[in-house]
Amino acid sequence: MTDKTDVLIYDTTLRDGTQGERVNFSAEEKLRIAQRLDEMGFHYIEGGWPGSNPKDMRFFELGKRVRFKNARLTAFGSTRRPNVRVEDCENIQTLLAADTPAVTIFGKSWDLHVTDILTIPLEENLAMIRESVAYLKANSKEVVYDAEHFFDGYKRNRDYALSTLEMAWTAGADFLVLCDTNGGTLPHELTEIVTHIRKILPEAPLGIHVHNDGDLAVANSIAAVHAGVTMVQGTINGYGERCGNADLIPIIANLQIKMNRRCLPDASVRQLTNLSHYISDVANIPPQNSRPFVGRSAFTHKGGVHVSAILKNSAAYEHIKPELVGNQQRVLVSDLSGKSNIEYKARELGIDLGTKDAMSTKIVKRIKIMEDEGYQFDAADGSLSLLMKKITGEFKEPFVLECFNIINAKTENNPSLTQATIKIVVGDEEELTAAEGNGPVNALDNALRKALLKFYPQISEVHLIDFKVRTLEGADGTAAKVRVLLDSRDDEEVWSTIGVSTNVIEASWHALVDSIQYKLCKDKLNKHHKED
């Protein structure tokens, strides 16, 4: 497919991405990711630095057994060590041992690094570059040459930086990748420098590899393509050390959707939202809602004024169609909310408000009152749909609370012991039970589930995945109002519920009950639908 492609996408999530502080993948996870990227049509997948750690070597072992449809697997390493013969250099030999079709080696472009850090003569560095590239080519590898610190080197000693590039090129490198390793280069500087390189080495296929220290990595990558670069290196979700690498997702979306530079099949671009969430799941790093193109909030609209307009004409308020990247439009109900929000939301949640807007007016009134009390439904779809169903009469309480008691006992420096007792009524049956927990809310949660389980076995499918507490008016110290946000999930979906009170236990109770009620209520609905 390369022939149809304008820009080659080179993913280094598995190598440079894992330099990020909390990013870790097992060799097996790496393989799963590599296969996913291959299916989507990524052109190069940098699997790791076999010389630097054994886990990476294991990945390449696994990789040998896999046939990749689109991607070329590449192993990363440095040029040969100073003052050794290239064939005797362990780094270089492990690169060959990785047995990948392509190999990526980085060399020093910045004289300061050669003289002050490697502390070798500038000529020796040039020899390291030349011999390493030539040797790998002689071993019939495709060679990607990463010019480390290129932009800083160019600014500090242009001639030397250029001579390192020319050295790699004349030695036979297939790509010269200009790296902004410290991530501090500004787009207009970068454009100027890349343009100059294109003039000097018109034949050489160029690549770009930038970091995000100036919050400019995506802009710099696009600017480089605009200036004639044909390979972009980056990571999914911009994982990487310090402020991260260039995030391939917005780069691909901007290039392909806005600049008409073909990177991946359109079908794969529609998978970007999926891919982003998949990678954060595997890395176990919570996805960022505000992430451009693929974040949960990327096409979320707030405020009554807007919403009616959005329903009229999405293009007026969205820079692209969310579907193009596999994302979707969402509307929040906020304290600027109007009836149109509610009606939109009701449709989204599949709730029938009837034809006349008496119902939505009633709902807006109720929401405004609750928002004055500190409720906030932006992030609590579950509670919102329950509220609507309660007002429209669609909802029947699955249980009634008679009472609960929570005891937290602490002696000296021992951890607290926490127990909860609860008594509920379902139909005409009473249930009294007790449970312990890590804390008062956890104990209450455990007791409530225990009490409900015999009536509603599906409760066991509900998992609480996030629990957030926010103080509303700090001014009252420990007497302040708190807002509890709870994210729950079952096998089908994730829902959020909310509770507000001056008592964190009360607030949590309301959020817990909403979460359980939402689950029971939607299951009834599904059952109902199946019966139709």
Stretch 337-366 residues interacting with a copy of itself (CB under 8 A): none
User: Does residue 385 interact with a copy of itself by CB under 8 A?
Assistant: no
Which residue type, as a one-letter code, is found at position 383? Answer: S
Mark residues 476-495: x for contact with a copy of itself by CB under 8 A, - for none: -xxxx-x---xxx-------
DSSP state of 460: G
Q: Which is nearer to a copy of itself, 101 or 157 (CB)?
A: 157
Q: Which is nearer to a copy of itself, 295 or 382 (CB)?
A: 295
Judged by CB under 8 A, which of 437, 451, 520, 522 binds a copy of itself?
437
- Partners of 106 in the β-ladder: 78, 146
**Span from 36-44, 84-92, 266-274, 331-339 in contact with a copy of itself (CB under 8 A):** 331-339
| Shortest Cβ 365–a copy of itself spacing (Å) | 16
Q: Which is nearer to a copy of itself, 72 or 330 (CB)?
A: 330
| Shortest Cβ 485–a copy of itself spacing (Å) | 9
Residues 393-432 that bind a copy of itself (CB under 8 A): 400-413, 415-416, 418
3-class state of residue 300 by DSSP: strand
3-class state of residue 5 by DSSP: coil
User: Does residue 369 interact with a copy of itself by CB under 8 A?
Assistant: no
3-class state of residue 228 by DSSP: coil
| Shortest Cβ 142–a copy of itself spacing (Å) | 25
Q: Which is nearer to a copy of itself, 56 or 343 (CB)?
A: 56
64 Cβ neighbours under 8 A, 6+ residues apart: 99
Which residue type, as a one-letter code, is found at position 293? Answer: F
Q: Which is nearer to a copy of itself, 44 or 404 (CB)?
A: 404
Residues 63-102 that bind a copy of itself (CB under 8 A): none
3-class state of residue 211 by DSSP: strand
Q: Which is nearer to a copy of itself, 29 or 61 (CB)?
A: 29
DSSP state of 475: G
Q: Could you tell me if 97 and 51 are in contact, meaning their C-beta atoms sit under 8 angstroms apart?
A: no
> What is the spatial distance between Cα 54 and Cα 241, in angstroms, rounded to a whole number?
20
> What is the spatial distance between Cα 325 and Cα 266, in angstroms, rounded to a whole number?
9
> What is the spatial distance between Cα 93 and Cα 327, in angstroms, rounded to a whole number?
44
DSSP state of 10: E
β-pairing, 429-437 vs 463-471, is unpaired
> Count of alpha carbons within 13 Å of 153, Cβ hemisphere only?
25
Which residue type, as a one-letter code, is found at position 431? Answer: E
User: Does residue 58 interact with a copy of itself by CB under 8 A?
Assistant: no
Residues 209-228 that bind a copy of itself (CB under 8 A): 212-216, 218-220, 222-223, 226
User: Does residue 20 interact with a copy of itself by CB under 8 A?
Assistant: yes
User: Does residue 520 interact with a copy of itself by CB under 8 A?
Assistant: no
User: Does residue 332 interact with a copy of itself by CB under 8 A?
Assistant: yes
Residues 131-190 that bind a copy of itself (CB under 8 A): 149, 182-184, 186-188
Which token pair is 488? 């729950």
| Shortest Cβ 397–a copy of itself spacing (Å) | 11
Q: Which is nearer to a copy of itself, 139 or 416 (CB)?
A: 416
User: Does residue 284 interact with a copy of itself by CB under 8 A?
Assistant: yes
Q: How many residues bind a copy of itself (CB under 8 A)?
A: 130
The CA-atom distances, in angstroms, between 295 and each of 250, 287, 299 are 11, 7, 8
| Shortest Cβ 337–a copy of itself spacing (Å) | 11
Q: Which is nearer to a copy of itself, 166 or 213 (CB)?
A: 213
Alpha helices in 257-394 (DSSP H): 266-269, 272-283, 304-312, 339-349, 358-372, 381-392
User: Does residue 509 interact with a copy of itself by CB under 8 A?
Assistant: yes
Q: Which is nearer to a copy of itself, 189 or 357 (CB)?
A: 189
**Within a 10 A sphere around the Cβ of 439, how many other Cβ atoms?**
15
